[in-house]
Structure 1
Amino acid sequence: ALAALGLKTGGTVQQRAERLLLTKHTPLEKLDKKHFAKGSHGPRQNGSTAVSQDINSLKQIALVEAKMKKLCDLLSKTIEQTKENVVKKQALTYEEMEQEREEFTNLCPQHPVRMAVGRVLNVGACEETQVDTESDDEDQQIYNPLKLPMGWDGKPIPYWLYKLHGLGQEFKCEICGNYSYWGRRAFERHFKEWRHQHGMRCLGIPNTKNFNEITNIQEAQELWEKIRERQGVNKWRPDLEEEYEDKEGNIYNKKTYTDLQRQGLI
């Protein structure tokens, strides 16, 4: 603590304690110079030195942040390409990765192929070879015997991804006009889409959670009738539930009371 304040740190324990207690009630500016160390130039100069050091450190941090921001702006395209490349690689199987690596190594054997962030090729030397391979790829028909769905790159998606999402399962919805949905996920999601909502609207049935997993028109209509009957039972019916009392204290519902009154029995 004494060294941080620029005071002398020598002497006995009692002397150091007395020196430290002086700072409790007396500001550093009013202390005698004999209490300060020889290398120290007083509290004011020490404080200004600390402030200048803080300013210099903040300047260095701001400079580093500015450099990093500028570097990110310059490499923004490269970063985006890297992200896309990583996402694409995560969807590939081991066999597909090996096949892709062989294609790149065999693309131009007489010139080096550099696998950098964005797979940089020596385009100047291999331009003709790339044009030929691209034209061959366009002319060649994509081999897809399993009829897998196409991915974002125009190629069939991996078979494991096809099995994971259950895209081989077909779900037909009669309410949607016998439209087919492939995969459980697409089937569950279609109940909130416009096609199913339009079909339910044509049937005069509200598209609520009660009708989830129902694709048959007859089943939907039967369920709607049951719901309406249940709502009718819980509804207030004054003819049956409203009570009347005659002069003798007998209690009747409204319908019975009016019938007896018309007949002159009460």
Structure 2
Amino acid sequence: MGEPVDRMADFPLYAFTTQEDWYGELVIQSAEAGNAPVPLAGRNFEMPITPSQQGGPLIEAVRTLTMAQGGGLSFKTDGTDGTLVFRVPRDIARTFPRQDYTADVLEVVDGERHLFLPVRIRYSEPSGLLSYISRFIGASVTFAARQQPIITPLAIAGRQGKRGNSVLSGNRAPISADGIDGDYWIQDRTASGQRRQMYGPKLAGAWPGTPWILESDTSVRTFASAADALTAIPQGTYGVGTLNGQLAVLANVGGALKALPFVTSTDLDA
């Protein structure tokens, strides 16, 4: 018989240094289902981290990750996306000898442990990584019937930044669920023949009760009565119109009409 062949090199390799936490993501997909994620929810996994060597007596794991709270293994979301996450804090990893490790993912079924996915971890000083062109943070694992897993590097999206403030809009006044503190809201009332108005900024989860009118009414209209002028001019705004045969600036102040007649050059001459 020939020399033993180390086939672990075909499986995901995670290179870590003494300067960082150990973190990895495994995305499990099914080739038979068109590379759809393999559902992991409800399944129980363990990941013994064991010094990698061949022959000799059975070697005890330096750490066994489990699905228990704080055990180091978890689903990235709810398990439906097929992503299994493993973590080892740096203060724990620093107690491990610097060498290669096998980190087989085992599925626990009725107390029995079955090999689910072999993984290798390389743990070394930072200088030991200079020969690496890139470092695997994740791997996509595709299973097909009667085939070995196909391993592909997987990029992990960065953390989403905090949303900045925005100017939102709608055809109604804002409610508490709209926007975040610092946002503004434009209410579009043009469909009902009224002018746009703005609320804001939102503070402590609440919108100010009094909006700003964004558009001035500069058209000259003729009103048959004060009631007609109040109907056409919203509260807190003004318009230019003719009332009782006199051109005036007409303002709606708290539901009461206030009229300021225009002063013409003839009036000044008199």
Band of TM-score, shorter chain: under 0.3
Q: Which has the higher strand share?
A: 2
Q: Which has the higher helix share?
A: 1
TM-score by length of 2: 0.21
